[in-house]
Amino acid sequence: MSGLSSTKVIRAFDVGEVGVRFLGEGEPLLFLHGGEGPAPDEFLAALAPGLVIAPDLPGFGGTPLPGQWNEMADLADFAADVLDGFGLDRAHVVGHSFGGYVAATLATRAPSRVDRLVLSAPIGIQVPAIVLPNVFALGPDRTAALLGYPAPEGSVPLRLVEREALARFLFARPFDRRLLGRLPRVERPSLVLRGSDDRYLPAAYVRAFADALGAPYRELADLPHAMPALAPAELAKAIRTFLDEEQS
């Protein structure tokens, strides 16, 4: 399959018409990107076979952020609108980091829309005695180091508008105190992943997602937090292996 994505224009509530990247055909997979921004086509192509759908979340890439949006439920509803725009009742849902927060929120709000769930280095829950680094208080170099980008070209590829989008959803409320307790209602096959060299998320934090879901937890050796950008083949292989095993 070609590694170049195409674009389909859909209509989402409050957002209006927006172009959504996709490639391939067949069994659908919805990928929700992290705070670093939209995933590269190389990663999306590695998630094949199947129809891979990769929207730019509102406030990122080419998708506008409605002025009144500041709840994760807004982004979860946007993800559901993307599925509607492709004529899909449900799909595999894969979310990385900030996108994992969106994916988990979608799965708890509308579990019927999720076939299988993969959370890659997810955020969004409150775990006792664990406080995550405040990326809004860090400069770009320190943030880049946490996420795994090498120095000296380690600036996180985040445009100002995207950092503002992250702040809209995370600055005042970096987690949903109810999400951890709601995850057990997700009765779909699930997987939780973390890079063993992730300097942003402690293993105990990510493992809490797996425990709440009753899902396997897997660490990917020597990989950082920003896996879609820095280790696309390795992350895609772990995701595909899980999806293929669940189908067999």
- Region 17-33 average pLDDT: 95
Task: Please give the domain boundaries of the chain with CATH numbers for all domains.
Answer: 6-247 (3.40.50.1820)
Residue 37 has pLDDT above 80, yes or no: yes
Contact by Cβ (8 Å): 82, 60: no
| Count of beta carbons in the 10 Å neighbourhood of residue 172 | 8
Taking the CA atoms of residue 82, residue 87, residue 92 and residue 94 in that order, the dihedral angle to the nearest 10 degrees is -10
Residue 78 has pLDDT above 80, yes or no: yes
pLDDT of 137-195, one tens digit each?
A: 887 778 888 999 876 554 555 554 577 889 999 998 899 999 999 999 999 999 999 99
pLDDT of 180-230, one tens digit each?
A: 999 999 999 999 999 999 999 999 999 999 999 999 999 999 999 999 999
Q: Which of 83, 91, 32, 29 is nearest to 58 (CA)?
A: 32
CA atoms within 13 A on the CB side of 226: 21
pLDDT at site 4: 59
Q: Which of 89, 75, 84, 81 is nearest to 32 (CA)?
A: 75
pLDDT of 7-24, one tens digit each?
A: 999 999 988 899 999 999
Continuous H helices in the chain: 41-46, 72-85, 98-109, 140-147, 160-170, 179-182, 203-213, 227-230, 232-247
pLDDT at site 158: 53
**CB under 8 Å to 230, separation ≥6 — which residues?**
148, 149, 223, 224
Contact by Cβ (8 Å): 58, 78: yes
